[in-house]
Amino acid sequence: MSSHRPQHRLSVPDIQRRKGAGSLVALTAYSTPMARLLDPHADLLLVGDSLGMVLYGMPSTLGVSLEMMVAHTLAVMRGSRRACVVADLPFASYQESPRQAFRNAARLLADSGAQAVKLEGGEEMEETVDFLVRRGIPVLAHIGLMPQQVNAMGGFKAQGRDPESAERVRRDGLAMQRGGAFAVVIEGVGEPLARRLSEELAIPCIGIGASPACDGQVLVSEDLLGLSGEQVPRFVERYARLDREIDEAARRFAEDVRERRFPEARHCFAMRE
C-alpha cells in the first residue's frame, strides 16, 4: 500500500484557531500556475475581485461578474492543495438582500469548490453575514477601504484616519464579528485603529495597509512580484521585479528570432527513416 497521504487543506476552523497563535499569510491567486507556486507558502489564497483590475485592466472591481469569479476560483482550486481558498462575491451579487447573497454565495461555493466567500461592508451587512453563516456559508469580512465602494468613497482613499471615520470602521468590525464572520480583512486604515481592532476583536484580523499588529497580512501577489508597473500602493513591498525579467526574456527571444538563432536543431523534430 502506498504511504502517500493527501495533503490536509486548511479549513475555516483552522484559520479561526490562529487568532493570537502566529501570523496568517494570505495572498491573492487567480490562476492554476500561480496557485501552485503560492500554495506551499500561504494559509489563505484569496481569489479577489481585484482580478478585474490586475488581469483584465479594468479601472475598478465593479465590472467583475459572478461567472468570472467561479472560473478563476476553479482554476485556483486545481492548483492548490494546502491553503484555505476564499472567493470574493463581486459587486451587486449580494448587496440587494440576504437572500440574493445566499443564492450567489451558494452558487460560487458549489460551482468552484472554495471554502468561504468574502464580502465588503460593515454594519449594513451584519444581517446578510448572519443569514449566510446560519445557512452554512463561511464569510470573510472586509472593512475599511472597500474597493467596491470606490465611487461612494471618492477613490481609493485610506479610511479611519480621523475620530469619526475611525469609530465607523470600528463599529463595522464589531458588526462583522456579531454577524459571524470567521475573520476580517482590514484594508487601508490608520495604524492605531487597525491595532486596536486586532486587540478588540476575537476573530483573526488580516491587514493590508493596516498594522503589523494584525493577526495576518495579505497582498496582491502581482504587486509583491513586481508585475503591477511602477505605481504601487505605499503599503506594498516588492519582493521581486518579475516585470524586468519578463521584459528581458521577451527581448532576448525576439532578438534570437530576428537573427535566426532560434530555433536551433535541438529544438526541431527529425524525420523517421
Binding site for Mg(2+): which residues?
Answer: 49, 88, 120
**Which residues are annotated binding-site positions for 3-methyl-2-oxobutanoate?**
49-50, 88, 118
Q: How far is CA 91 from CA 57, 118, 164, 259, in A?
A: 17, 11, 26, 49
252 contacts: CB under 8 Å, gap ≥ 6: none
3-class secondary structure, 225: coil
DSSP 103-132: HHHHHHHHHH--SEEEEE-SGGGHHHHHHH
Choosing from 127, 187, 255, 259, the catalytic residue is 187
Catalytic-residue membership of 187: yes
Among residues 41, 21, 25, 30, the alpha carbon closest in space to that of 81 is found at 41
**Which residues are annotated binding-site positions?**
49-50, 88, 118, 120
Read off the DSSP letter of residue 88. Answer: E
- What is the Cα–Cα distance from 230 to 253, expressed in whole angstroms? 24
* C-alpha cell, 75: 482554476
- 188: number of CA atoms within 13 Å, CB side? 15
Residues taking part in catalysis: 187
